Amino acid sequence: MLPAPPTSAAETLADLASALGVDAVGWTAAQVPASAVAEYAGWLGAGRHAGMTYLERQLPARADPSSRLEGVGSVLVLGVSHAFAPPTVPGDGVRLGRVARYAWTPDYHHQLQPLLTRLEQEAAKLGVRARGYVDHGPVMERLFAAGAFLGWRGKSGMTVSTRLGAFVTLAVLLTDLPCETEAAAHPDRCGRCTRCISACPTAAIGPDRTIDARRCVSYLTIEHRGPVPHEWRTGVGDWLLGCDVCSEVCPWSAKAGPLARLLEPEARLAYPDLTRFFGVSERQFEREWAGTALLRPRRKGMARNALTVLGNLPTEHEGREQGRPLLLAGSQDPVWEVREAAAWALGRWGDADLLSPLLADPHETVRDTAAQAWAGVI
């Protein structure tokens, strides 16, 4: 029997979450073991959070849920599937590259926040103080998900569910409902399987169920600012935004299949038109992609990613004919990071005609990459 706050309010809130379309719901104690804090601090100390320095500042808050809600006693954990069936590919524009499934729908933070607000309002009516988070606050959602028996931390570091697979978006509702009994964590169902570790294109998954963001494709295409390190660019492959490899190869994901019901995918997000990242201002880009995950890397990041994808296209790929004008546009982009990515891609294509002007680029990094490309060393 799983522990739950000994009040009818707990059942009411859980039932409401299910009625609102949440795929998995569970309660757990609002406790963060010292061992979990030490592990997280060790991950930070090793620098595996890359440029996400805000995670260092948030460590004290993550270790102490009461810093988010005074008197917190229990947590309602919500799991929402983003295991979408692929939408129909649009027939217009340059459609190359892959996008992680969570980004196939408008920003899930915006979509799930009203659901949490509804739960907060219901909790207030029941005399319960509550505060909700959708992956935007210093809360250890995956730890709480395991305690609530929604799933376990897989070898990929992701929450994996026997019913939902690895494509799970988590949200939490901190409450001041008491939880006298500490829940045991969900048992590990990975067994001997190491498919996620073997399939990672940049070997970013460690043996301790953590990810080294410095080489993770998701980090490199979303959070990383500036040029992607040369040693990881071929590993990015055709990923335009994020990466789903570890979740795709998970046997539990295959067993679950496409079952998302609360969130809906959009073809324009699953298959973005690469031409929309070039020849537009940052303001125009923000207007077109408002309310989507594409805003996170910004216009220059998406243009950089598009050029990286193009640079990784095989020689005989049909997309090369469509992509060549984008290489030209990238080589003339006003942002140096984009021109640098174009120089790398042109070197991969062996396109000397477009590459040669970049040898005299005003930015040193662009010139250096162009020189390496000219020499055929990238």
* Active-site residue list: 135
CA distance 35 to 17: 31
User: Which helix (DSSP H) or strand (DSSP E) does residue 283 occupy?
Assistant: helix 282-288
Q: Please tell me whether residue 165 adopts helix, strand or coil conformation.
A: strand
Beta strands in 83-184 (DSSP E): 98-99, 130-133, 152-153, 159-160, 168-175
Question: What is the dihedral sign for C-alpha 177, 183, 189, 194?
Answer: positive
Number of Cβ within a 10 Å radius of residue 126: 15
174 DSSP β-pair partners: 75, 131
- Rounded to whole angstroms, the Cα distance separating 126 from 108 reads 27
Q: Give every CB contact of residue 293 below 8 A, 6+ residues apart in sequence.
A: 102, 103, 107, 222, 241, 242, 269
By CB atoms closer than 10 A (0-12, 13-18, 19+), residue 183 is buried
CA atoms within 13 Å, Cβ hemisphere of 256: 25
Give the CA distances from residue 253 to residues 98, 125, 133, 266, 355, in Å, rounded to whole numbers and listed in that order. 18, 38, 25, 21, 43
